[in-house]
Structure 1
Amino acid sequence: MSTPVQSSAPILSSSLTVVGSINLDVTATAGRLPSPGETVGGGVLRQQPGGKGANQAVAAARLAGSSRMVGAVGQDDAGLNLITAMSGAGVDVQDIAKVDAATGTALVLVDGEGENQIVVCPGANGLVALDGVTFRDDEALLCQLEVDQDVVLEAARRAKGFFALNAAPAAPIIPELLERCDLVIVNETEYELIPALRNAPLVAVTYGGDGSAIFVDGERVAEAPAVRVTDIANTIGAGDAFCAALVLALQSGLEYGHALAVANAVGADAVRDASSQPALKPLEDYVEATRLPDATSSAATK
């Protein structure tokens, strides 16, 4: 396991590679979400790039200038378009396989407040493999649980640098995988659903409007308040942007509280954007914007 160096000043960050899902998001936005068996009219339909893995890779590229994506798409127009979109955002797409399956698709319903309901059809994401993929010593690696957990475990075994897991969607984690994590990132619901995280060495938990916190061996050691947002457009990509930002911030040497504040600020910008892969400023801008004394809180909470 590799531990990020805690520092009050950022250092040059290592590169970030994401292993995970790539989806086409088919989104219907309406005034409210339907109840079971109910039809809600007046929706607006759009298609856009998505998938937790791709969202995190694009966010990392926009924050740090580049990133690498390891995943799979189908040999269809959707797959080609998704690869083109990622490449255009600065993601190295050489390790995205084109497999004999439909490109993964997410069916998303979003209400007027930005809340959402999602059904994911994995498709090609079920065929992600690490054949021929290598990882460097200076690479941070970020995974999620939208691809087969055995693939994630293999990535963790191969990782030579910092290994982070966004344990979403919530599922029981293979014990060896958890042991190999330098960082686990979850929201408060996932934290409750995965009891094994209580004793994990380093866990970041997001609490929506109540900010975020870091736990070391089950003890809450750092926290940062949420950034208030009134113009919410879409909450889907916010958690993914937070994950990419937090890993980059920690790998840049920021102390826990400051890194959380940076990630919170990135997530706040993400919800203002209707895209699941929102436009973001360079990481350095968020680092400077959150450097004020009242912008972070890294005091331990007993």
Structure 2
Amino acid sequence: MAVFCCGSLHLDVLVTAPHLPRPDETVAGNTVEYIFGGKGGNQALSASKMGSKVSMAGRVGSDSFGNHLLKELKNSTIDISQVQRDDGPSGMSVAILDSAGNYGAVIVSASNLNIDPELVIVPADTKIILLQNEISEDVNLALAQKGRIIGSKVILNAAPARAFNKNILDFVDLLVVNRVEAEDILGHEVSSDGWFAAVEELAKLGPNELIMTLGADGLIIKIGVQAPVHIRAHNVTVKSTHGAGDMFLGALAAHLDQNMSLLSACHFAQKAAALHVGSQQSERKKLTKEAVLNYNP
């Protein structure tokens, strides 16, 4: 079986600074790195690291950024035969990471918005389709429909938060959101005493399975008609939360692809995310499935 990820590919420019700038403030930075990114690409890399066969569909430009992105995917043994190219610029982001591990980012989608869904063929051995909100809604809908036809499990990570046509949820098996994204979909605030109610409300929109991630507070999982369950997060010293959600999603998809239950996959993905946030950027490439399985916080 395999994971098929259709999503964004960005080259992230990561700057470290003492603190995030306030409006009209210029902050002197400490370091700068050029890092493979985009929610689609990050989740594909995560799933590959966690032991699954992974194929990627997306779009990059004809620039050096595009070459860098494709090389990174190939080096991670990801099938890139369905990554399209055009004459425009590749997607990119500029992220600022402060000394406390907090970050803010600006994303330029560029070629990511030009993915042609008619050119995308879901491989026949696909067990899991992984989608996110950094590409066109029309592409997500087309891929979710294709997944439903061949019997793949469709996971939509509705991140970043944006208004979208809720009809896509008719073709989504597992919806994964954080609290902010849940608020955006529901149109109201979700307080700490309303987590369970929010998940129940989201379930009425269509998906049979739901996960609402809560950062340091863990996550809420709902499966079918069962009552929601709260899973606590691991206690870890945070180096940086940058990319933690993508590590979680990729690990989750890989574990489901490897015939584990959703509950087991959530526990596995939480451990992967904990190792991720507790590691420096340079250490994250070394994160393996074995390291996650052996992690006992």
TM-score past 0.5 threshold: yes
What letter is aligned with 1:197?
L
- Which amino acid in 2 is paired with 1:209? A
Quickly say closer, same or farther: Cα 1:19–1:165, change in 2 above 3 A.
same
Please report how far the alpha carbon of residue 249 of structure 1 lies from its aligned counterpart in structure 2 after TM superposition.
2.1
Instruction: Give the counterpart of 1:33 among 20, 33, 39.
Output: 20
Alpha-carbon contact 2:52-2:257 (below 8 Å) kept: no
Q: Figure out how many residues of one structure are paired with residues of the other and give that number.
A: 277
1:210 aligns with 2:210: no
Counterpart in the other structure of 2:107? 120
Aligned to 2:129, which of 141, 144, 153? 141
Match of 2:208 among 176, 179, 201: 201
8 A Cα contact 2:52 2:254, kept in partner: no
Amino acid at match of 1:261: H
* Counterpart residue identity of residue 129, structure 2: L
Separation in structure 2 between the aligned mates of residue 84 and residue 53 of structure 1, nearest angstrom: 15
Provide the secondary structure at the position in 2 that maps to 1:64. Answer: coil
Distance verdict in 2 for CA 1:42–1:35, change over 3 Å: same
Structure with bigger helix share is 2
1:279 and 2:285 matched: yes
State the secondary structure of the residue aligned to 2:88.
coil
Aligned equivalents of 1:37 and 1:264: distance in 2?
37
Q: For 1:65-76, what aligned pairs fall within 5 Å after superposition?
A: 65-76=52-63
SS at structure 2 position matched to 1:125: helix
Q: Structure 1: which amino acid aligns with 2:160?
A: P
Residue 250 of structure 1 pairs with residue 241 of structure 2: no
Q: Which TM-score applies when normalising by structure 2?
A: 0.86
> In the TM superposition, what is the alpha-carbon distance from 1:165 to its structure 2 partner?
0.4
**Deviation readout 1:129-187 (Å, 9 max, x if unpaired):** 23332224541100001011001100011112111100011123323211100001111
Identical columns (%): 30
Quote the Cα distance in structure 1 between the aligned partners of 2:280 and 2:290: 23
Q: 1:73-222 counterparts in 2 under 5 A?
A: 73-139=60-126, 140-159=128-147, 160=150, 161-195=152-186, 197-199=202-204, 200-216=207-223, 220-222=227-229
**Alpha-carbon distance, 1:288 to partner:** 6.2
For 1:44 and 1:286, how far apart are their aligned partners in 2? Answer: 29
Paired residue secondary structure (2:118) = coil
Unaligned runs of 5+ in 2: 187-200
Q: CA RMSD in A?
A: 2.2
Partners of 1:211 and 1:226 within 8 A in 2: yes
Paired letter, 1:96: V
Q: Report which stretch shifted further, 179-188 or 277-286.
A: 277-286
Per-residue CA deviations over 1:201-260 (Å, capped at 9, x if unaligned) read: 211111111111212468643332212211x33212110010111122233333333221
Amino acid at match of 2:117: L
Letter in 1 for 2:270: N
Report if aligned partners of 2:2, 2:52 keep a CA contact under 8 Å in 1.
no
Structure 2 CA distance for aligned equivalents of residues 153 and 264 of structure 1: 28
Look up the match of 1:239: 245
Residues in 1 aligned to 2:227 and 2:26: alpha-carbon distance in whole angstroms: 44
Q: Shift of the alpha carbon at 1:86?
A: 1.2
Deviation, 1:270, is 1.5
Partner Cα separation in structure 1 for residue 13 and residue 247 of structure 2: 19
Q: Matched residues in 2 for 1:88 and 1:208: separation? A: 30
Alpha-carbon separation, structure 2, partners of 1:215 and 1:155: 24
Normalising by structure 1, we get a TM-score of 0.84
* Farther-moved stretch of structure 1 (203-212 vs 141-150): 203-212
